[in-house]
A and B are shown apart, each in its own frame.
Chain A
Amino acid sequence: MKASISLLRGSLGAALVAFALAVPSVSAADKVDPAADAKAFQKFFFKKFPDVKHDDFVNGPYSMNEDMKRQWQEKEEFPPYEFSLDAGKEMFATPFKNGKTYADCFPNGGIGIRQNYPYFDTKEGKVVTLELALNRCREANGEAPYSYVKDEMASLTAYMAFTSRGKPMDIKIPDDPRALEAFENGKRYFYTRRGQLNFSCASCHVQSPGERIRAEILAPALGILNAMPIYRSEWSGMGTISRRFITCNSQTRAVPLEPQADEYRDVEYFLSYVANGLPISGPGARP
């Protein structure tokens, strides 16, 4: 009897040791810590480009190249996004068929709030972007949603960004495991290689900002969404954040996801959060 008990104890001990060895320990590196991630992200860019003023990162390629910056400053005298901005202002003020306006859907009447988007909706358990909130506002008021990649959405977000210019990005991550998961998913999406060219978002916007890819100068990932939406000369028109993500995917030969897919919402959450503190500069203009 004693022998069998000691055998059992021995087996149990061995099993516990084996279990302890088999289960990977949760190290500090595995813990989701958005604040630490944002700090490391910003530090990386500030160190890589010590001569760029911190607030200037939101100006994308212009912060990386003095010649381009001078051309852009000239262009800002008559900015190419002006038509879109005017259209957006008018659309924003025009009542829906039921008499309500966009202002009824947003805090502070929708003015000066761009820096708070996207946010994590604890009721829905998902990230809500400004583009999504605008279409939800339309649908709640009996209007058909706009395309996420076309001019109307770009005009509306251009106006809302313009009223928020200079305000520091201020994305909150509530104490909710789903919000942390969304942030982590966004981070994973940002660093994951995809498409036949085997590129991640980071391949261009972390490893190579300031470098040329064909005729373009790559923008740094830090503050890259603060200037959205943008007028792109390459597109001869305005582009929303949705359009930018979709085009980036296509350029790496990956089939893009549907606009406002969870992955896109999460990567917008991640990129916006790590740019906290940097000013809104949208709408922007890019080559």
Chain B
Amino acid sequence: MSAAMQRSLVLAMLLLSSLAPPARAANEADYKAAYAAAEVASKEASGMRNQWTTTVSTLAAAKKAGDGGDFDGAVAAAKEAEALAKASIVQATSEKEAWKAMEIR
């Protein structure tokens, strides 16, 4: 590897490291935002009569962690609950037609 290439590589690594966001602990506001987003998706799934038990339990875990001051844990659980709720919405939407594929005719 030439000296010029080595210099470019070092510069590129420095540039990348300067762009990476600094790791910081989640705070209460992060938790509340994540929880609110999860709750919206969960309510939509419930309105479609297609709530998953895991969405409910993960949302409860997020609240428990948030109430206990573990905001990192609370944000992670809330995001997971939101993902679960969104997956159940996708399922309910696709099944509006997809169920016919399983029908005995």
- A residues whose Cβ falls under 8 Å from a Cβ of B: 29, 37, 40-41, 44, 187-188, 191-196, 198, 200, 202-203, 206-207, 250, 253-255, 257, 263
**Tier of interface size on chain B:** 20 to 34
B7, CB-defined interface residue at 8 Å: no
Pairwise interchain contact B56-A255, C-beta atoms closer than 8 A? yes
Contact of B84 among A29, A192, A196, A257 (CB under 8 A): A196
Grouping DSSP codes into helix (H, G, I), strand (E, B) and loop, the B interface class, with mixed when no group exceeds half, is helix
With a cutoff of 8 Å between Cβ atoms, the chain A residues found around residue B1 in the complex are none
Pairwise interchain contact A254-B102, C-beta atoms closer than 8 A? no
Kindly state the separation between the CA atoms of A253 and B92 in the bound complex, as whole angstroms. Answer: 14
Kindly state the separation between the CA atoms of A192 and B53 in the bound complex, as whole angstroms. Answer: 17
Residue of A nearest to B52 (CB): A196
Cβ < 8 Å to A, chain B residues 71-105: 84, 87-88, 91-92, 95, 98-100, 102-105
What would be 7 A-B contacts, judged by CB atoms less than 8 Å apart? A40-B104, A195-B52, A196-B88, A200-B99, A202-B102, A207-B102, A257-B49
Kindly state the separation between the CA atoms of A26 and B104 in the bound complex, as whole angstroms. Answer: 19
With a cutoff of 8 Å between Cβ atoms, the chain A residues found around residue B95 in the complex are 192-194
Kindly state the separation between the CA atoms of A209 and B84 in the bound complex, as whole angstroms. Answer: 29
B54, CB-defined interface residue at 8 Å: yes
Given contacts A44-B104, A196-B54, A263-B49, 15 further A-B contacts (CB under 8 A): A40-B104, A187-B103, A191-B100, A191-B103, A193-B91, A193-B95, A194-B50, A194-B91, A195-B52, A196-B84, A206-B104, A254-B51, A254-B53, A255-B46, A255-B51
Kindly state the separation between the CA atoms of A206 and B103 in the bound complex, as whole angstroms. Answer: 9
Contact of B50 among A29, A40, A41, A254 (CB under 8 A): A254
Pairwise interchain contact A193-B51, C-beta atoms closer than 8 A? no
Pairwise interchain contact A193-B53, C-beta atoms closer than 8 A? no
Query: Which 4 residue pairs spanning A and B have beta carbons closest together?
Result: A255-B51, A191-B99, A192-B99, A191-B102
With a cutoff of 8 Å between Cβ atoms, the chain B residues found around residue A191 in the complex are 99-100, 102-103
Cβ < 8 Å to A, chain B residues 3-47: 46
With a cutoff of 8 Å between Cβ atoms, the chain B residues found around residue A203 in the complex are 102
Kindly state the separation between the CA atoms of A206 and B101 in the bound complex, as whole angstroms. Answer: 13
Contact of B54 among A41, A200, A206, A253 (CB under 8 A): A253
Kindly state the separation between the CA atoms of A250 and B98 in the bound complex, as whole angstroms. Answer: 22
Kindly state the separation between the CA atoms of A253 and B85 in the bound complex, as whole angstroms. Answer: 12
Kindly state the separation between the CA atoms of A56 and B52 in the bound complex, as whole angstroms. Answer: 35
Contact of A193 among B46, B56, B98 (CB under 8 A): B98
Kindly state the separation between the CA atoms of A257 and B48 in the bound complex, as whole angstroms. Answer: 11
With a cutoff of 8 Å between Cβ atoms, the chain B residues found around residue A254 in the complex are 50-53
With a cutoff of 8 Å between Cβ atoms, the chain A residues found around residue B54 in the complex are 196, 253
Kindly state the separation between the CA atoms of A44 and B105 in the bound complex, as whole angstroms. Answer: 9
